[in-house]
């Protein structure tokens, strides 16, 4: 259950393209949006198109198999009575009921990490290397997994302790108060994550003075976004994807972009990316996302509160689980929520995709770089299917597809640029 909560702490990112030579189509007198869009979309052909589609479509099955792996691990911990043993150990260590769930969480997190490690290694390392999307050695990659484990060993016990406190005090309405607890943790994560969590994985340094920085500062100033510090982080050590974000709350607000964005793209693309990211901040997407995710979580906890007691009444004795307020019940709660989150995947994707689409429009209006935006959208083709069907995009895409974004950019160009020219982007750079 609590590993899945990391899904909510979103780090909003976008990818882009390196600069290519652009040249106007001779003899073009009418700007055709579809023709201009196809000029970009059709740059992805042959083996590269097949590779992109294969990687992303394979991810559809990973959603299903990931859920089944999570449920299997929780059932294994239950049926082996390890869950009951973890509870018994916590009770031997302390008589304080309020502290026992936190102690239980320590071996539970470790067991979950070890039991899912083969799956994590395949999906997070070998599969990424197979498709050329990872720059790290296994040692460097595994080191970051260990950092993530240490973070989980701090956060998850606190979260479990808080949730079981409300279960004991409000056994009938705990799912309402539990939603509030999770929302508070999300807020704290948004506040402290950019300052204390992100630097554990990457080095952040102030962006050098220059025209690109000046333009970012100017765009931020339009919307009173603090831009005293613009940070560049070294994500090229992990992969070559392009990323940027405006993160934090209040005193922790910061603008960050990775080194790939500066090294692999031109100024028009950087402006398009940063306009998009500024849009997330100005449009209040972080707060909206927390609110809607809280509603989705509330429904999940409500269903858990209804079904978990039935499972405990039926199987609790052989599993060594006494009641829903027993920390040994955590794998039961986790399995139910895992199934629920799997079913809610289209809702999660739609929420994020709507936010991303709004930020796209904002970025186009702010940066006024439609061709830079189209090149950025095409970079997604490295790991995202460029042109899915409408139902496929609705179910599986948490961002608009590359084709959708390119068409949006060309339509914006037709509507907002005087005498727009048809451009041929040429072949995409292969790195």
Concatenating the DSSP letter of every residue in 187-232 gives HHHHHHIIIIIGGGTS-EEEPPSSHHHHHHHHHHHTTT---S-EEE
Say how far apart CA 61 and CA 40 lie, in whole Å: 29
**Which backbone phi and psi does 203 adopt, to 5 degrees?**
-90, 130
CA dihedral 145, 148, 149, 154 (to 10 degrees): 170
98 half-sphere exposure, CB direction, 13 A CA radius: 4
**Could you read off the pLDDT tens digit of each residue along the chain, which spans 431 residues?**
444 444 443 333 333 333 333 333 333 458 999 999 999 999 999 999 999 999 999 999 999 999 999 999 999 999 999 999 999 999 999 999 999 999 999 999 999 999 999 999 999 999 999 999 999 999 999 999 999 999 999 999 999 999 999 999 999 999 999 999 999 999 999 999 999 999 999 999 999 999 999 999 999 999 988 888 899 999 999 998 999 998 888 888 899 999 999 999 999 999 999 999 999 999 999 888 889 989 999 999 999 999 999 999 999 999 999 999 999 999 999 999 999 999 999 999 999 999 999 999 999 999 999 999 999 999 888 899 999 999 999 999 999 999 999 999 999 999 999 999 888 786 545 44
3-state secondary structure of 232: strand
Say how far apart CA 190 and CA 130 lie, in whole Å: 33
Structure tokens of 322?
């006494």
Q: Parallel, antiparallel, or unpaired for β 244-247 and 254-258? A: antiparallel
Average pLDDT value for the chain: 90
Q: Which residue has the tokens 């920085």?
A: 213
Structure tokens of 295?
């509603």
Q: Which residue has the tokens 């502290």?
A: 99
pTM attached to this predicted model: 0.87
Q: Identify the bridge partners of residue 165 per DSSP, sorted by sequence position.
A: none
Instruction: Check if the beta carbon of residue 59 is closer than 8 Å to that of residue 384.
Output: no
Say how far apart CA 91 and CA 101 lie, in whole Å: 9
Instruction: Check if the beta carbon of residue 410 is closer than 8 Å to that of residue 374.
Output: yes
pLDDT at 393: 94
pLDDT at 426: 66
Q: What is the DSSP string of 111-180?
A: HHHHHHHHHHHIIIIIHHHHTT-----HHHHHHHHHHHHHHHHHHHHHHHHHHHHHHHH-TTTHHHHHHH
């Amino acid at each position: 259950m609590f590993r899945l909560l990391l899904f909510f702490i979103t780090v909003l990112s976008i990818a882009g393209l390196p600069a290519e030579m652009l040249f106007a189509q001779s003899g073009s007198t009418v700007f055709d949006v579809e023709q201009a869009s196809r000029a970009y979309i059709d740059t992805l052909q042959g083996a590269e198109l097949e590779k992109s589609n294969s990687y992303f479509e394979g991810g559809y099955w990973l959603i299903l198999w990931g859920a089944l792996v999570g449920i299997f691990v929780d059932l294994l911990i239950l049926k082996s009575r390890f869950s009951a043993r973890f509870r018994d150990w916590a009770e031997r260590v302390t008589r304080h009921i309020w502290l026992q769930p936190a102690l239980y969480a320590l071996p539970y997190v470790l067991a979950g990490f070890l039991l899912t490690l083969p799956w994590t290694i395949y999906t997070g390392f070998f599969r990424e290397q197979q498709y050329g999307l990872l720059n790290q050695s296994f040692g460097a990659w595994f080191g970051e997994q260990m950092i993530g484990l240490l973070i989980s060993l701090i956060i998850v016990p606190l979260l479990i302790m808080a949730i079981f406190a409300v279960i004991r005090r409000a056994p009938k309405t705990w799912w309402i108060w539990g939603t509030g607890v999770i929302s508070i943790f999300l807020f704290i994560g948004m506040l402290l994550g950019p300052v204390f969590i992100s630097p554990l994985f990457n080095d952040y340094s102030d962006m050098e003075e220059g025209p690109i920085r000046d333009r970012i500062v100017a765009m931020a100033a339009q919307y009173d976004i603090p831009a005293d510090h613009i940070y560049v982080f070294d994500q090229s050590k992990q992969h070559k994807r392009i990323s940027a974000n405006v993160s934090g709350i209040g005193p922790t607000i910061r603008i960050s972009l990775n080194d790939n964005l500066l090294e692999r793209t031109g100024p028009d693309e950087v402006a398009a990316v940063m306009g998009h990211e500024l849009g997330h901040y100005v449009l209040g997407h972080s707060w909206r996302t927390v609110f809607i995710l809280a509603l989705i979580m509330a429904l999940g906890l409500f269903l858990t509160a209804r079904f978990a007691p039935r499972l405990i009444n039926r199987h609790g004795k052989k599993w060594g689980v006494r009641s829903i307020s027993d920390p040994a019940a955590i794998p039961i709660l986790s399995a139910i929520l895992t199934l629920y989150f799997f079913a809610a995947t289209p809702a999660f994707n739609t929420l994020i995709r709507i936010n991303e689409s709004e930020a796209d429009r904002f970025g186009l209006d702010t940066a006024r770089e439609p061709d830079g935006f189209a090149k950025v959208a095409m970079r997604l083709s490295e790991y995202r299917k460029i042109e899915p069907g409408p139902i496929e995009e609705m179910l599986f895409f948490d961002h608009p597809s590359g084709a959708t974004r390119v068409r949006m950019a060309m339509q914006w160009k037709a509507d907002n640029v005087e005498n727009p020219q048809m451009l041929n982007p040429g072949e995409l750079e292969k790195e």
